[in-house]
Amino acid sequence: MTTETMVQEEKQSQRKLQIEEKILRYFQNKEIANERKEENKTLFEEIEQFFEELEEEEMVFQLPNGEYGVLTKKATIREVLDKEALAHELLIAKDELKTPFDFSMLTSQGKLTPDMISRHTSTETTIKVKLSKRKKKPKMKK
């Protein structure tokens, strides 16, 4: 074995150690990130609970870095189609109401009418708590 070969093997051995070290660090960082995500999830649930108890619409507070934290309630309104009830009325399996194509076929066959869709559509309102960061202090809502 020549010195050149030994030097090459030594370099390769060092490279493998460096890669192993980086892989280990990568997975440690990933684990720390997952722990932080879990902690933030728990913190946010607690923030939501306290905010609900305060019965306020918005809270603004200054962060140590000069930015502002804004806690607000946001209402989302959406229409929901009860496919199960619609399928029951049409006397078909719920699985047959998956794609827009399924709806168009049933409509073209005269089995499905706009009135049926209206009867099985309801409005759902969900109120979510939103936490965001702003550079400038937001104006208070009246």
Give the mean model confidence (pLDDT) for residues 105-119: 91
List b or e across 93-116, with b for residues whose CB sees 16 or more CB atoms inside 10 angstroms: eeeebeeeeebeebeeeeebeeeb
Of 74, 50, 63, 70, the C-alpha closest to 129 is 74
Cα separations (Å) of 103 from 32, 81, 85?
A: 47, 12, 14
pTM of the entire predicted model: 0.60
Q: Which residues are paired to 35 by β-bridges?
A: none
Instruction: Work out the average pLDDT over 133-137.
Output: 89
- Could you tell me the pLDDT band of residue 142, with boundaries at 50, 70 and 90? low
> pLDDT tens across 83-106, in order?
999 999 998 999 988 999 999 999
